[in-house]
Amino acid sequence: MLCGSKMDESSFRYAMENAQVVVSPKQIIETFGTTSFRFVHVSELMDRVNQVRVRDGSIEAERPRIVSPHMFHKLALEGFGEDARHFADWLEEHSEHFKLLRYGFRFRKTDIKEEVVHDSLESVLGRIKDDLVDEPKSALLSGMDEGWEVTLLKFTWEMIHRSAGENVGEWKRRGLI
């Protein structure tokens, strides 16, 4: 469910195909702290010539977590039967150095401001792109107006992928995995 309305499968796919990260933040998700990114989402309004909606807000990612077998035992077995419990017990006993990485970030979108600009999509994107040059925690996104949150979620997914290698490297350097 997006923006209070339901999207069918074809609308969702269309929104995904049109979701673009025009400018990615230079900074990645921090390994040991919360990271806040500014996003600007630009979308053409349907059936309106040279009218573009600009949404400006922030999105927050909590720090990634390392989950030990003991914590996995507690977290992952809700609704599972006795066989799963035995496996978790075995895993906890036999995997002294085994740890799982949990990238279950909680992303919150906050402080969203919207405005409609009377100009072409390309012109608006160009001006905003120039404005974001010196902002290492800012992203410029473009996509559908309805279902714009799909673009925002696609951005968060890309940030997880960009950040994972560095986060794991940092955990290894500190002897956490």
Domain boundaries, the chain: 18-64+106-177, 66-102
pLDDT of residue 6: 64
Class of residue 73 by CB neighbours under 10 A (exposed 0-12, middle 13-18, buried 19+): middle
pLDDT of residue 89: 64
Q: List phi, psi (to 5°) of 120.
A: -80, 155
pLDDT of residue 80: 56
Contact 140, 132 (CB under 8 A): yes
pLDDT of residue 16: 86
Q: List phi, psi (to 5°) of 145.
A: -75, -50
Helices (H), 50-147: 69-75, 82-94, 121-131
Helices (H), the chain: 9-18, 69-75, 82-94, 121-131, 148-173
pLDDT of residue 26: 94
Q: Tell me how far apart the alpha carbons of residues 10 and 177 are, in angstroms, rounded to a whole number.
A: 41
Neighbours of 43 (CB within 10 A): 21
Helix axes 148-173 and 9-18, enclosed angle (nearest 10): 60
Per-residue confidence of the chain (177 residues) as pLDDT tens digits? 344 456 778 888 888 889 999 999 999 988 888 888 999 999 999 888 899 999 999 888 878 876 665 555 555 555 555 555 665 665 566 555 445 555 544 556 667 899 999 999 999 999 999 999 999 999 999 999 988 888 888 888 888 888 888 888 998 898 877
Count the residues in the chain. 177
pLDDT of residue 2: 43
User: How far apart, in Å, are the Cα atoms of 148 and each of 7, 53, 114, 142, 155?
Assistant: 11, 10, 12, 8, 11
pLDDT of residue 71: 59
